Structure 1
Amino acid sequence: MRVAASDNNNGYGFTFNGNFKLGVGETDVTPDSLVNVCNTTAFYSSPLGFKNPSTGKALSFSTTFVFSILPEKNPYNYQSHGISFLIAPSNNIPGSSTPPAHIIAVELYMFNSVGVDVVNINRSTPAGYFENENGEFKKLTIASGEPIQAWVDYDSVRKKLNVSLAPINTNQPNLPLLSIDIDISSIVSDQMYVGFYSTSQSSNILGWSFQLSGKAQLDLSNLDYFSKGKHTKKKKIIVISTVSAVAVVSVLLIFLVIFLWVKRKAKFSEILEDWEVQYRAHRFSYKDLFKATKGFRENELLGRGGFGQVYGGVLPNSNTQVAVKRISQKSKQGMREFIAEIATIGSLRHPNLVRLLGYCRRKGELFLVYDFMPNASLDKFLFCKSEKDTLNWSQRFKIIGDVASGLTYLHEEWVAVVVHRDIKASNVLLDGKLNGKLGDFGLARCYKHHGNGPQTTNIAGTLGYIAPELARYGKPTTGTDVFAFGAFCLEVACGRKPVERRAEPGEVILVDWVLECSKKGEILKAADPKLKNKFEAGEMELVLKLGLLCSHPVAEFRPKMSQVLKYLKGYDSLPEDSDTLWTQEHWVEINDSNMSLSHHLTSQLQDSVASLTITELFTSKGR
């Protein structure tokens, strides 16, 4: 065992160029500078100063080590976690009274998972690494017996803990396997021990370097494990140094270069069929989207739901911020029609619509590219726990008008009629000035002439926003959009979703409760309590009654969106008898439709892009 220690301007550090065993039931050979409390642990002999004496803040640290774990003969032993790198106030971990709140553990599980356990943070991810060349994720087998190098780095300025793995003789990945935002100043003490703990039968640390306030470095060529057989390799080099061998190697190198080039091209290869040529203007390259989202890395994830994941990014050529929705789609049925819809809807231009910029498809996946909205979706403001973060009434009233304006454009003002089919608060996005923009056109359908309905009979949408006739016949119309808009109005005004299973009896269905309050002359009682009665009573009453009118079970009683916009702008007044339009017979109709909705969905779903996502929407995953 070769040990080197340093104490310089960059901080204190040490390096072990050798190996020591850690294993249950093993007889350990412990270097002089290590202390074994039992045969499962090995700590550096002296505690290290982890805090800046003048500020009391934790210092940055870096460590790297090479380990190997032999496979277990008994597969049930894989429940043991393998090896853990520890930072602890004591070097007597097993059976000690050291509180977990003061231990930082990076765990390398034998069932091929890597985890970080710090106070209330317990994060894990599959073992592997991201290639520096193209960001592709490669899996690693922890208990393979092969040497693997690990890096654990903490940045005290950015307050970020990063963990990386890689095969031996591979550079440290630029993209860490795990990255956690955490300030360890309250976790570490002034003096802390560093070392390892293992519960596997046979674990080896082949080399280890640690550095405070600096970067740990480990020279792999000096490790005992890699020093064996160097003399034999020299002899082999002499044998193959003939002219004929050089020629063979040259040919192999040429083939290798060609192979790597083809492999790299295949990584970004895309499907482009003949019928897609006409939609080329709306198509993005996968390579650009990969670069924009930094390889669809976890840090760029904006949200996930029934339709897939949404990532933020910046297009490399134009520096335009975009949101990229990644949808898994293995079926080809209806893809031509779906791309045609994207091309058509991509031509929509209105200040209250999120632009669908285009698409990309590759290896069974579909990517939709939208304008980026910095304030995300409306539901995050409506249903936030903190009252101070919720929207005030004037902001909500304006957003309702924004959505009504966008829907009027879709239904009555564009060259074709577009039925959105999924209007709800989570699909209303907010720009930097909190202007409402209707987004997510993944289910939208358009038809060329006003007065003709779309031909699709797939039920699409979200429970609570689906009109009775859509549940019964499966045919979307502008009237079914108006019904969903009514549910949206009540959602915004009342601060709760259309169906709230945990609500009091009589309040589970939002429209039932608002109608009951209206009949009693107490409609303002339904207003969102987070507003604390700070709203304009006339506007609130207008929105609640308009929501009831638009949510009427009979489509003929619902107004068009252009009329809705007139009500909201004060150009026309609501019908005085709008409440009395609701009768007991209408309630029987809507309840019967809702009871048969689940069965109807099962029989109507087809193998298409839209129908693939509907079943997930009705399991309350949301988007």
Structure 2
Amino acid sequence: MSCKILMLYFFLRLASADNNNQSGFLFDGYFKLGGSVNHSHMSSRVILTDSGLSEAGQVFYNDSFKFKNSTTGSVFSFSTTFIFSVISKDPEFSGHGLAFAISPSKGIPGALPNQYLGLFNATNNGISSNHVIAVELDTDQDFQFDDIDDNHLGIDINGLVSVKSLPAGYHSDDWHFKELVLKSGKPLQVWVEYESLNQQLNVTIHPINIPKPKLPLLSLKRDLSPYFYELMYVGFSSASGTNSSQYILGWSFRVNGQAEEINLSRLPDIPGFIRNEEGAGDGYRKQQKILAVVLSLTGGILLLLLIFGVLIMISRRRKFIQVLEDWEVLYGPYRFSYNDLFIATKAFGDKQLLGKGGFGRVYKGILPFSNIQIAVKRISHDSRQGMKEFVAEIATIGRLRHPNLVRLLGYCRRKNELFLVYDYMPNGSLDKFLYRLPNYVLNWKQRFKIIKDVASALFYLHQQWVQVIIHRDIKPANVLIDNDMNARLGDFGLARLCDHGNDPQTSHVAGTPGYIDPDIVQSGKSNTRTDIYAFGVFVLEVTCGRRPVDPRTSTEKVMLIDWVLNCWDNGAILDTVDSRLVNEYVLHEAELVLKLGLLCSHPVAAVRPACLV
């Protein structure tokens, strides 16, 4: 799979001979992040790295640089400039952008292919042992990382929550701010410079047809020495995506000095862009001349062979397109190989089984080469059309990004089976903590935080994403707990989407008995208020520590909602709080969530809150 990591097109010109004898370099040429590799055009000074996960594009300079004074431990000044271009095929979903990175190694192992800008993963993002400094050129707003928008620059230290970020743009000579669009396809120039004396990191971006602005876009005054080793590597990283291409058209770097200017007259043409002969670069014209000579020498025989090869290629492409359906073209970058999942789950062995339900079984796995833990849901489906519709929904939901949602990492198809790959949550589901751990009792602070986490996830699904997501199966079994006891809503197997302002059309009742809105039994239509009803039952269940329906208890307590309501009418609503808490809870918070649960689960849908804020 090493050839799946990165497609590197470039005709690099190396301005210096040996990095050991000098502290910088200049490349004139280009390379493209993402895809598969062409080794025949690689320079000995550039290395592409295999992170162990397909489609994570990383290109690093082959030699390390001495960044720190071995005597004082302070970081030397350094300067780099590069010209890049992001070409977007889909203006709405254009991928995640790219980043310039300074790393302890030639590439960053364990990086996820389709997230974290190819720099980190869910396990190591944000930890101090990374020793990675990056400048992100981000074209996707990810709420998990507190992104300000989908067109910004940020300074990242050891993780993707930027310590400083601003929308892309520059200050002109008259100090007016002018916005730039990172994914416009136009070549833009970036400067990343650290002044050791002032301990200040500056980041500047501007169009290539104007001089470097005097005022940088980002300035961070911080001593970088705690984050650097003495020897570090420099390079670029990008998450995968078929909807955009990222090109580096030129790159210059220097330690203890100013990066050498890139000669704009020698910038190469960007592949896929057609220019007239007068505006074409030298490399383009040279290729045209070589092609003309080759065609004239080979004559008719080569032409026949070419036609024959084209016919074979078209035939194979048609066959492939029949397998790769439209929704898979959109969702393609997140596709895992069956072989990887088979190895990760130890052949889907019973010892790896985490649970099972109506939509399939869930297995624990560890991805080969990267040691990243995953959860794999294995689903069988007899209907080809049903499979297509179901995965089309999942493909859309896979774009969701929120810290309180279980992230869908990707999928795999094999015959009549579908495999969905999620972040692994080591603590399992919430119902385990409520009912299956007799020696462990969730304290009130944990319960209150879990309720707020699920409310935040629902608000995102209903109000903040580009479409309305109706989950339709909110219950403790579908709320997973991460290492920090944060709650994440998962299992979108029953979810439905609709545009804001429209009601989704559903043909059957979906959900789990005890959490189903009584009104939906009559109408058969789900909407945000049916989710609010289930959330209300969920809130009561977490607070009271018992299931919505419990036939083993006394008659007046069988139905949880009725019992809590009766206690409220009798002025004793706090008597319903889980007795295992032994009165160790905040009285006003408990009363608040109990009343909220009753309001959300009101039998009249119009009385329920329209949203959770």
After TM superposition, the score normalised by the length of structure 1 is 0.46
After TM superposition, the score normalised by the length of structure 2 is 0.46
